[in-house]
């Protein structure tokens, strides 16, 4: 025995090695030991005979050591991976174990497909608890075997074990294992009927099934990596779900788009038949086994078509057409009169004409040219009125209540010229004759704990590095770094597949989480956590992302794009996409997480095939303005566009055009659906606020309002990103996006009252006695030493008082960005946007937002920027301001000479009105100063470049008393988040106990809070005495009860 054999020899296995010696002298010791263990396991699962405890322990030890070697030794891994007999043993073991585990965990096999014999979750739970010990032992063994099978697919020539795995049909065993794991882990159970011991047993088994599911997904990922046929075979299994197959004739339509799943399934099967040739190395190994070793256990290879011809003698089985002509180019030709379906598909050459035809109908109508224009503002206005008048009926209809809309209400009848046909005629074929993509040299072998010596050509633009970690039964942890590289060679377009008015179909009433899920993999996101589910996302990415493919086929077809189109054409794919998107929201994954990044790449793939709009509409929930899955999809698209902003130099011209078309779709949807429906809700809030409607008429609850707000906020985030890109900003201006923003802003102003920083307590009328009056007795005796009871938790506001927090600030950011001068210029503002603001009456709601609103922090500062660019160079806007000021009478604060007067004013940030006492001196100069103060509040000098802004200060004693403090407006949004530079006599800005207004020189002291109701901006001097001799006029604010506790003392306004 050589020293090398001594090092690799597994101890204490002499007898088993002698039995396996006859398998051949060319086998390594690792192969022999593993084969011997598999022989025992196969007999155990088939009860011929079952293993005793000592044999089971010995076999388990051998499997564990083999697992370690496949993690750490590349030569051992490659040797075992090319052993056909080992792959057959693995297939036979899983084929025997899966039915046994199914019987012990789910119920009798006869009950699986028979609803009348179905096992309830409670009965399944009882089975698992009863068979806990044997299930746990078997699952531990199968997890190790699946780990080994996963590792065997990673070596210098992965296509060899991948093809052998397919030839022995181990891939089908992996698929059946996934089915079993999903069936067990997705079942609920009644925790009340289980004691603690039973619950622990059930938890142990469930976690083991999850481990097996994770490892099976990782094995499937490795089996499909960089292998087009295996990818298509896996896609065929998981997307063409037999449970969802049509029961009618094959030629019937599968859905409203005309797509026929059964026709597509047949065509994909024919493509698999025509592309059934295995690699030469795998064919030679299979032939050698079939000719020289098939007469010994584990027996012959199953002659299952279409792969069997690769190893069977010539002439013993029919060879599918075209398998020999792997280099000849194909010119796709569709022969509708051909009776032989296989020959018809062979002449076409591509995967599926059904899928191609579906894509031509489902893709963006603007894919090749601009056929669908932006809905006009006039249409948007009519749509808004329609939504307002039919709001209650719309929600009653979509929620399936008894309140049916009257005839003529249903929105399908409101079609206009903008309601385009989404199934317009296109060219009969489009064959994706695209530029060859660089081969993706490194496909992430997800979650493999082993060291292997590979040379990778890392010439890709983007690199994502993630660190995967494993915990195995043998407590042998390995860290493995994967690098995901991707080019951005985009083919962006979009389709507007939804008629926007069709959302109220009664037959389409389904809410997220209701009803059965379609497809095997759809359940997986509901079972696994973010770390466990990574393999599923990697599988989807590797099957559809362009740079994970191998170029074009002989027919000029991009198989990655074809699989991407199949993904959305089939219900199983659409359901899986929805669950993957909602998974991000449920687990609150951020942009730095691997799941978020991989899902963004999946969205990129949809963008390459112009299917993001189709995906958007397929994620619709009728009762929601925007569904949770749509919100996540928009967030991913926003992240995709944000990458464009950060890497604008790498953006090509064709990518810009495609991005513009995608922005066109989203803004069209925003104008036609999001804005009208949100504004309609705000309008109803305003009606309730004005007591014109009863709150009980509000049609949605707070949870629905929160979802609508999340969707609207995400939409505004997207528009913020788009507005920062010069090409798309120009389009937003051309399409008059300002109108939609003004509509939302006006709705918020009417429907949602501003939240003050300080809310004044409500006074009870004098003489009104309550049962237990509140008396402040800090040292009262007889309180028994008990601490006061905590205040009750705040009640949730009713839905009709929903504040839409933060939305105004987002709108101001977008408006200010659009108003900015062109790059390289500092003045004037964009004239087109300025005139749009005037045309659509955007100045009034802008001015109304000058008052402090705690629902929208920093909104006031953003309004300042908007006003700066709005007034800069726009005579129409300046004239509007002049007319507004002329119509606003000054407040009458002037007292009689030598006397006092009491008035009320509104102070920004304080709820309601505050009483002000004005005392006048007798000297004429003092009287003149008072005149200046009063007259200054009624004038607004619009010709000056700077506008007054509210300044927040911590120390009121440092406020200026000379009336000379002036705060220049911020010049950029970065300045808004930083404290303004102050002189030495003022404290730095921060979030105040209240907003501190500054008193400026006359002519700059007006802030219209509401049209026709100006308010002076005054400077508080907390430290001054009201009796100072140098003060001609003191304005004393008398705080209401309890307010002086917040300020420490009464406030004195001094000039």
DSSP per position, 364-415: -TTSSS--SPPPPHHHHHHHHHHHHHTHHHHHHHHTT-S-PPPTT-SGGGG-
Report d(CA 992, CA 970) in Å as an integer.
19
Same domain, 754 and 731: yes
CA 69 to chain centre: 40
Give residue 400's pLDDT: 46
- CA–CA distance, 294 with 275 (Å, rounded to integer): 26
774: left (phi over 0), alpha (psi -120 to 50) or beta: beta
Identify the pLDDT of residue 535.
97
Weakest-pLDDT range from 277-291, 477-491, 538-552: 477-491
Residue 636 has pLDDT above 60, yes or no: yes
Q: Let me know the angle formed at the C-alpha of 143 by 114 and 176, rounded to the nearest 5 degrees.
A: 30
Tell me the backbone φ, ψ of residue 918, rounded to 5 degrees.
-110, 120
Q: Decide which of 651 and 639 is more confident.
A: 639
Same-domain pairing of 668 and 563: no
Please report the DSSP string for 428-446 in residue order: S------PPPPP------T
Interatomic CA distance for residues 809 and 394, integer angstroms? 29
Distance CA 837, CA 667 (A): 18
Instruction: Judge if 1017 and 926 occupy the same domain.
Output: yes
Q: Which pLDDT score, from 0 to 100, does residue 920 have?
A: 54
- pLDDT classification of 1017: cutoffs 50, 70, 90: very low
Q: Give 163-188 pLDDT, tens digit per residue.
A: 999 999 999 999 999 999 999 998 77
Confidence of residue 789 (pLDDT cuts 50, 70, 90): low
Q: Which pLDDT value is given to residue 976?
A: 40
Q: Please check whether residues 565 and 518 belong to one and the same domain.
A: yes
Same domain, yes or no, for 921 and 1029? yes
Write the pLDDT tens digit of every residue in 697-722. Answer: 999 999 999 999 999 999 999 999 99
Q: Residue 214 and residue 143: Cα distance in Å, rounded?
A: 9
Question: What is the number of domains present in the chain?
Answer: 4
Lowest mean pLDDT among 480-489, 606-615, 777-786: 480-489
Could you read off the pLDDT of 492-517 as tens digits, one per residue? 333 333 444 444 443 333 434 444 46
Residue 415, pLDDT score: 38
β-strand partners of 900: 919
| pLDDT recorded at residue 550 | 84
Mean local confidence (pLDDT), 575-599: 97
pLDDT band at 194 (very low <50, low <70, confident <90, very high): confident
Q: Which residue has the higher pLDDT, 802 or 434?
A: 802
Domain-terminating residue out of 608, 627, 642: 608
- HSE of 124, CA atoms in CB hemisphere, 13 A: 24
Whether residue 702 is contained in a domain is answered as yes
Residue finishing a domain among 867, 887, 907: 887
Region 944-961 average pLDDT: 35
**116 and 203 fall within a common domain:** yes
pLDDT for the residue 305: 85
Residues 334 and 310 in one domain: yes
| Structure token pair of residue 518 | 């379609």
Each residue of 302-357: pLDDT tens digit? 988 899 999 998 877 888 776 656 677 889 999 999 999 999 999 999 999 999 99
For the cut 50, the answer to whether the pLDDT of residue 1051 exceeds it is no
pLDDT of 424-447, one tens digit each? 434 334 444 444 443 343 344 444
- Asked if 692 contacts 698 with a C-beta cutoff of 8 angstroms, the reply is no
Rg (CA), the chain: 36
Query: Does any domain span residue 496?
Result: no
CA nearest neighbour of 72 among 479, 466, 444, 465: 479
State yes or no: pLDDT of 736 exceeds 70.
yes
- Which residue range is the domain that position 310 belongs to? 261-362
Q: Which of 579-593, 605-619, 852-866, 910-924 has the lowest mean pLDDT?
A: 910-924
Q: Is residue 493 part of a domain?
A: no
At residue 112, the pLDDT reads 65
User: What does the pLDDT look like over 681-700, one tens digit per residue?
Assistant: 999 999 999 999 999 999 99
Compute the average pLDDT of residues 582-587. Answer: 97
Of 852, 887, 922, which residue constitutes the final position of a domain?
887
Over residues 791-796, the mean pLDDT reads 57
Q: What is the pLDDT of residue 650?
A: 60
Do residues 580 and 522 touch, judged by C-beta distance below 8 A? Answer: no
Tell which wins on pLDDT, 1052 or 70: 70
pLDDT of residue 649: 64
Mean pLDDT for the stretch of residues 387-411? 56
Lowest-confidence segment of 241-255, 477-491, 892-906 by average pLDDT: 477-491
Residue 823 lies in a domain: yes
- Report pLDDT digits (tens) over 380-395: 999 999 999 988 777 7
**Of the ranges 153-162, 265-274, 348-357, 845-854, which one carries the lowest mean pLDDT score?**
845-854
* pLDDT on residue 369: 85
Check residue 883 and give its pLDDT. Answer: 87
Lowest-pLDDT range of 756-760, 897-901, 949-953, 1033-1037: 949-953
Residue 738 and residue 817: Cα distance in Å, rounded? Answer: 11
What is the per-residue pLDDT for 109?
77
**430 found inside a domain:** no
pLDDT of the residue at 412: 37
Better pLDDT: 244 or 872: 872
Give the pLDDT score at 485: 40
Note whether 232 and 224 are within 8 A (CB). Answer: no
Q: Read off the pLDDT band of 450 (50, 70, 90).
A: very low
pLDDT at 491 over 50: no
Task: Kindly state whether residues 911 and 1039 are assigned to the same domain.
Answer: yes
**Whether the predicted pLDDT of 468 surpasses 90:** no
pLDDT band at 47 (very low <50, low <70, confident <90, very high): confident
User: 3-class DSSP state for residue 618?
Assistant: helix
Whether pLDDT at 1025 is above 50: no
Same domain, 907 and 1002: yes
Determine the pLDDT at residue 26.
79
**Residue 681 φ/ψ, nearest 5 degrees:** -65, -40
pLDDT band for 551, please (50, 70, 90 cuts). Answer: confident
Query: Residue range 15-42: average pLDDT?
Result: 75
Same domain? For 604 and 680 the reply is: no
Q: State mean pLDDT over 260-274.
A: 96
Number of C-beta neighbours around residue 653 at 10 A: 8
What integer pLDDT is reported at residue 86 of this predicted model?
97
Taking 90 as the threshold, does the pLDDT of residue 1028 lie above it? no
pLDDT reported for residue 622: 87
Kindly state the tokens that stand for 207.
Answer: 């976690």
Candidates 514, 605, 528; CA nearest to 559 is 605
Report in angstroms the alpha-carbon separations of 273 from 321, 338, 390.
Answer: 8, 19, 55
Percent of the chain past pLDDT 70, that is, above it, reads: 63
d(CA 1021, CA 1005): 17
Beta bridge partners of 581: none
In this structure, of 236-245, 298-307, 351-360, 733-742, the range with the lowest mean pLDDT score is 236-245
Query: Does a structural domain hold residue 901?
Result: yes
| Most confident of the ranges 55-64, 917-926, 1021-1030 | 55-64
Does some domain include residue 654?
no
For the entire predicted model, the pTM comes to 0.75
Task: Please choose, from the candidates 438, 529, 467, 450, the residue with its C-alpha nearest in 3D space to the C-alpha of residue 222.
Answer: 450
The reply to whether 189 and 310 lie within a common domain is no
Q: What is the pLDDT of residue 324?
A: 58
Same domain for 18 and 164, yes or no, is: yes
- Contact status, residue 832 vs residue 736, Cβ threshold 8 Å: no
The percentage of the chain sitting over the pLDDT mark of 90, rounded to a whole number, equals: 50
What mean pLDDT, rounded, does the chain reach? 75
- Residue 943: its pLDDT value, please? 36
Give a yes or no: residue 323 inside a domain: yes
Query: Whose structure tokens read 């955007």?
Result: 842
Q: How far is CA 537 from CA 214, 220, 254, 627, 892, in A?
A: 12, 12, 27, 22, 68
What's the confidence (pLDDT) of residue 761?
A: 63
The 8-class DSSP code of residue 670 comes to I
């Amino acid at each position: 025995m050589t020293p090398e054999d001594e090092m690799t020899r597994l101890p204490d296995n002499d007898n088993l090695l002698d039995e396996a010696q006859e398998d051949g002298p060319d086998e390594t010791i690792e192969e022999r030991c593993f084969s011997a263990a598999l022989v025992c396991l196969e007999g155990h699962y088939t009860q011929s005979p079952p293993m005793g405890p000592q044999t089971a322990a010995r076999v388990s030890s051998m499997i564990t050591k083999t697992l370690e070697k496949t993690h750490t030794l590349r030569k051992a891994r490659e040797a075992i991976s090319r052993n056909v007999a080992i792959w057959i043993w693995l297939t036979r073991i899983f084929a025997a174990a899966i039915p046994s585990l199914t019987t012990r965990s789910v119920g009798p096999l006869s009950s699986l497909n028979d609803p009348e014999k179905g096992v309830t979750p409670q009965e399944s739970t009882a089975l698992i608890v009863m068979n806990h010990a044997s299930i746990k032992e078997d699952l531990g063994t199968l997890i190790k075997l699946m780990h080994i099978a996963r590792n065997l697919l990673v070596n210098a020539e992965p296509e060899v074990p991948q093809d052998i795995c397919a030839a022995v049909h181990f891939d089908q065993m992996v698929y059946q294992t996934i089915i079993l794991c999903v069936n067990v882990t997705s079942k609920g159970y009644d925790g009340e009927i289980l004691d603690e011991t039973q619950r622990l047993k059930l938890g142990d088994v469930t976690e083991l099934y999850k481990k097996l599911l994770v490892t099976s997904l990782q094995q499937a990922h490795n089996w499909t990596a960089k292998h087009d046929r295996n990818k298509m075979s896996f896609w065929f299994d998981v997307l063409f779900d037999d449970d969802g197959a049509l029961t009618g004739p094959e030629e019937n339509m599968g859905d409203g788009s005309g797509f026929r799943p059964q026709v597509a399934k047949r065509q994909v099967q024919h493509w698999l038949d025509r592309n059934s040739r295995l690699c030469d190395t795998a064919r030679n190994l299979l032939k050698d086994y079939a000719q020289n070793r098939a007469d010994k256990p584990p027996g012959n290879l199953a002659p299952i078509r279409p792969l069997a011809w690769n190893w069977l003698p010539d002439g013993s089985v029919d060879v599918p057409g075209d398998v020999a002509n792997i280099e000849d180019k194909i010119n796709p030709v569709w022969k509708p009169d051909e009776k032989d379906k296989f020959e018809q598909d062979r002449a076409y050459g591509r995967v599926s004409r059904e899928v191609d035809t579906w894509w031509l109908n489902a893709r963006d109508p603007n894919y090749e040219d601009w056929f669908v224009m932006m809905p006009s503002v006039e249409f948007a206005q009519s749509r808004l009125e329609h939504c307002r008048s039919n709001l209650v009926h719309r929600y009653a209809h979509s929620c399936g209540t008894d309140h049916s809309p009257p005839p003529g209400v249903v929105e399908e009848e409101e079609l206009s010229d903008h309601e385009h046909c989404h199934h317009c005629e296109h060219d009969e074929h489009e064959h994706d004759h695209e530029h060859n993509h660089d081969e993706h040299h490194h496909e992430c072998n997800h979650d493999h704990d082993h060291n292997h010596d590979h040379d990778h050509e890392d010439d890709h633009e983007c690199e994502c590095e993630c660190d995967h970690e494993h915990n195995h039964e043998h407590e042998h942890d390995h860290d493995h770094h994967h690098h995901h590289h991707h080019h951005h060679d985009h083919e962006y377009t979009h389709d507007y597949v939804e008629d926007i008015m069709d959302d109220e179909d009664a037959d389409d009433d389904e809410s997220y989480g209701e009803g059965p899920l379609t497809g095997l993999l759809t359940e997986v996101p509901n079972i696994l956590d973010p770390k466990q589910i990574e393999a599923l996302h990697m599988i989807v990415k590797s099957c559809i992302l362009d740079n994970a493919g191998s170029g074009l086929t002989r027919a000029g077809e991009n198989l990655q794009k074809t699989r991407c189109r199949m993904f959305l054409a089939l219900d199983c794919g659409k359901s899986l996409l929805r669950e993957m998107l909602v998974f991000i929201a449920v687990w609150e994954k951020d942009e730095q997480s691997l799941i978020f990044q991989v899902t963004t790449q999946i969205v990129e793939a949809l963008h390459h095939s112009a299917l993001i709009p189709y995906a958007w509409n397929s994620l619709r929930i009728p009762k929601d303005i925007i569904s949770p899955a749509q919100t996540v999809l928009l967030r991913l698209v926003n992240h995709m566009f944000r990458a464009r902003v950060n890497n604008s130099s790498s953006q090509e011209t064709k990518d810009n055009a495609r991005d513009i078309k995608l922005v066109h779709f989203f803004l069209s949807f925003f104008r036609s659906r999001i804005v009208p429906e949100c504004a309609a809700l705000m309008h109803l809030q305003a009606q309730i606020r004005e007591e014109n409607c009863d709150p009980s008429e509000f049609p949605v609850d707070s949870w629905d309002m929160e979802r609508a707000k999340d969707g609207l906020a995400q939409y505004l985030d997207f528009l913020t990103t788009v507005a920062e890109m010069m090409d798309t900003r120009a389009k937003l201006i051309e399409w008059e996006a300002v109108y939609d923003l003004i509509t939302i802003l006006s709705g918020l102003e009417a429907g949602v009252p501003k939240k003050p920083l300080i809310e004044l307590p409500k006074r009870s009328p004098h003489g009104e006695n309550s049962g237990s009056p509140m008396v402040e007795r800090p040292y009262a005796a007889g309180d028994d030493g008990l601490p006061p009871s905590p205040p009750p938790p705040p009640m949730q506001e009713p839905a009709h008082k929903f504040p839409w927090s933060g939305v105004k600030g987002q709108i101001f950011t977008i408006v200010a960005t659009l108003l900015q001068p062109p790059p390289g210029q500092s003045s004037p503002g964009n004239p087109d946007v300025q005139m749009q603001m005037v045309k659509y009456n955007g100045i009034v709601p802008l001015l109304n937002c000058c008052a402090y609103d705690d629902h929208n922090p920093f909104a006031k500062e953003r309004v300042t920027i908007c006003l700066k660019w709005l007034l800069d160079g726009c005579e129409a806007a300046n004239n509007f301001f002049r007319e507004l000021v002329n119509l606003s009478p000054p407040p009458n604060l002037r007292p009689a000479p030598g006397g006092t007067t009491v008035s009320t004013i509104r102070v920004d940030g304080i709820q309601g009105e505050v009483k002000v006492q004005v005392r006048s001196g007798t000297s004429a100069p003092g009287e003149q100063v008072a005149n200046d103060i009063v007259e200054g509040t009624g004038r607004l000098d619009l010709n000056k470049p700077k506008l007054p802004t509210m300044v927040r200060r911590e120390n009121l004693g440092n406020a200026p008393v000379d009336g000379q403090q002036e705060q220049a407006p911020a010049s950029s949004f970065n300045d808004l988040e930083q404290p303004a530079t102050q002189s030495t006599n003022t404290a730095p800005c921060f979030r105040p106990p209240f907003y501190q207004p500054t008193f400026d020189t006359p002519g700059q002291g007006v802030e219209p809070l509401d049209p026709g109701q100006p308010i002076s901006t005054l400077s508080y001097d907390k430290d001054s005495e009201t009796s100072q001799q140098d003060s001609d006029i003191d304005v004393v604010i008398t705080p209401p009860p309890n307010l002086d506790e917040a300020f420490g003392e009464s406030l004195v306004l001094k000039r």
